[in-house]
Structure 1
Amino acid sequence: MSLQLFNLLWVGALIGGLQGITGAGGGILAVPALVAVLGWGVLQAGPVALLGVAGSAALGAWDGFRQGLVRYRAALLMACAGVPASWLGSLLAHYLPGRLLLALFALVMLWTAWRLRHRQPDDGALPASLCPLHPETGRFVWPLRSLLMISGVGALAGLMTGLLGVGGGFIIVPALRRISPLPMHSIAATSLLVIALVGAGGVVMAGLHGLPLPIDVALPFLLATLAGMLVGRRLSRRLSQAAVQRGFIGLLCVIAGYLLLKSLALV
């Protein structure tokens, strides 16, 4: 096994594992990881990263669906709002200063991490929230306010994805944590379904735009992310809600640091 293939496999497995545990991390980590491992440009690495992230997210969402964790109606609503917003974000990216946007988003991520750090772990109750759940089924009820807020989360995630190239999970997970009483395990699984739906659309769009997808690299990377996702999902079942939340907070801080360095043109 060549050193390049070995690096490709362990990077894919790591990204899939982080996605499986936190419901985020794949989209923003995969492209710079492939650039570093393969020496590619961002445009060349993008379709391969998207395929791996979307494929592993689909597997994680299916696992969460079998456990009754995925809120699929909310995920579909967020995906429908996120796809056109992503297109808008990609247009705005040509007119707005990228470095400033990266720095601002990094600061927002750090603020989000601080807010989550001071939120108490779930105790199994369903407290009052902006987007309430049915007390018996644990599923969303759908007054107009919930429809608007859930679709707004999807639109914001899509906008940031198109604008900055960051993963939508970093918007979806803390936003759902803020506006709903869903436990972290359910939030992560629902986020994975949104990522899978939006990512699949991105893979199709990349193909329509003629971006290359080398199978000799894409297939091993996809298989590695799938393996990492399986391990991450299994590990997440053994972790408490508080441990999953702490893991997400740590990932937020690491990625925020990376974005700040990138905004200063240091990476």
Structure 2
Amino acid sequence: MIEHQLLGAGLGAIIGAVLALTGAGGGILAVPLLVFGLGLSMVEAAPIGLLAVGLAAAVGAVLGLRQGLVRYRAALFIALIGIACAPFGLMLAHRVPNTPLALVFAGVLVYACLRIWRKAARELRGESPCGEREIMPCVLNPLQGRLRWTLPCARALAFTGMLSGLLSGLLGVGGGFVIIPALNRYTNLNMQSIVATSLAVIALVSTGSVVSASVAGVMHWWVGAPFAAGAVLGLLLARPLASKLAGPRLQQLFAAVGCGAAVLLVGKALLG
């Protein structure tokens, strides 16, 4: 039992370090690590991964708040809708067999990693990591420095919250790979503010999902607690190294590792 918990803490530290070096979205590797490292099923691994990712995201969100980067009204709006939708994803997860659930997760993982690879490729070419932006429904008021809340803006952010909440409950992912592209597409925020706001949403939605899993009796705290503690420790230890090690090449390495994990998940799901 103790060896299992120590292994869980070590795996959590790896996720925390990945989050520190790659930013929001890095936590999507938590579930594959739990599946292969601790032999958990997808349904068992999902809430534990969320606990770790949520705690690590909360640390990043607090730091972002102190720097004035988090758009807290937008984050709270997206998160409230995500928290409301997360129980539906959790309920669906318990009705879908493990094999198709693993295949869906693998598809989402590949999608997220391809987005990370393309973003890194843009940076290597000297282009903006935000890419080309078209007409955005949520723009900052230059006088107040706040987002202008319009019906199209609220609708876009509500859809973002709904999708991130469903995926959070269903697959145990924080949703950074959904929230960051959405904020990039729908707002004119800079990338630092987008990432900080995304971390705040992930922290809040993950909390809601973990509470739902606990109420449903499917949260294995004896594994989740050391895994989450390891994630926070790994984040704090790796954060000072982020400015030296983080960069587009590391992002591409992470994307390649993520795609490899997706292939392994598919193999395990199909071959047992």
TM over 0.5: yes
- Count of matched residue pairs: 259
> Residue 193 of structure 2 is aligned with which of 182, 186, 195?
186
The 3 A distance-change label for structure 1 pair 203 and 161 is closer
The 3 A distance-change label for structure 1 pair 70 and 166 is same
**Structure 1 residue 228: Cα displacement:** 2.2
Looking at structure 2, the residues matched to 247 and 137 of structure 1 have their Cα atoms a distance apart, in angstroms, of 37
> Residue 200 of structure 1 is aligned with which of 187, 200, 207?
207
- What is the match of residue 209 of structure 1? 216
Looking at structure 2, the residues matched to 235 and 14 of structure 1 have their Cα atoms a distance apart, in angstroms, of 14
- 1:47-86 aligned at under 5 Å gives the runs 47-86=47-86
Q: Deviations over 1:166-185 (max 9, x none)?
A: 33111112222233232332
> Residue 108 of structure 2 is aligned with which of 105, 108, 112?
105
Looking at structure 1, the residues matched to 229 and 102 of structure 2 have their Cα atoms a distance apart, in angstroms, of 34
Letter in 1 for 2:226: P
TM-score (ref. length: structure 1): 0.77
More displaced stretch, 111-120 vs 144-153:
111-120
Pairwise CA RMSD: 3.5
Q: Deviations over 1:138-165 (max 9, x none)?
A: 4322122211112211112223333444
The 3 A distance-change label for structure 1 pair 251 and 130 is farther
Looking at structure 1, the residues matched to 135 and 248 of structure 2 have their Cα atoms a distance apart, in angstroms, of 20
Letter in 1 for 2:25: A
Given that residues 174 and 206 in structure 2 are in contact (C-alpha distance below 8 angstroms), is that contact kept between their aligned partners in structure 1?
A: no
> Residue 236 of structure 2 is aligned with which of 208, 230, 252?
230
> Residue 146 of structure 2 is aligned with which of 136, 139, 143?
139
Identity percentage of aligned residues: 39
- What is the match of residue 178 of structure 2? 171
Letter in 2 for 1:177: N
The 3 A distance-change label for structure 1 pair 252 and 44 is same
Given that residues 55 and 228 in structure 2 are in contact (C-alpha distance below 8 angstroms), is that contact kept between their aligned partners in structure 1?
A: yes
More displaced stretch, 256-265 vs 46-55:
256-265
Given that residues 15 and 29 in structure 2 are in contact (C-alpha distance below 8 angstroms), is that contact kept between their aligned partners in structure 1?
A: yes
- What is the match of residue 18 of structure 1? 18
The 3 A distance-change label for structure 1 pair 35 and 161 is same
Q: Which SS does the other structure have where 1:33 is aligned?
A: helix
Is 1:151 matched up with 2:158? yes
**Structure 1 residue 250: Cα displacement:** 4.9
Q: Which runs of 5+ in 2 are unaligned?
A: none
Given that residues 60 and 233 in structure 1 are in contact (C-alpha distance below 8 angstroms), is that contact kept between their aligned partners in structure 2?
A: no
Looking at structure 1, the residues matched to 78 and 114 of structure 2 have their Cα atoms a distance apart, in angstroms, of 23
**Structure 1 residue 40: Cα displacement:** 3.6
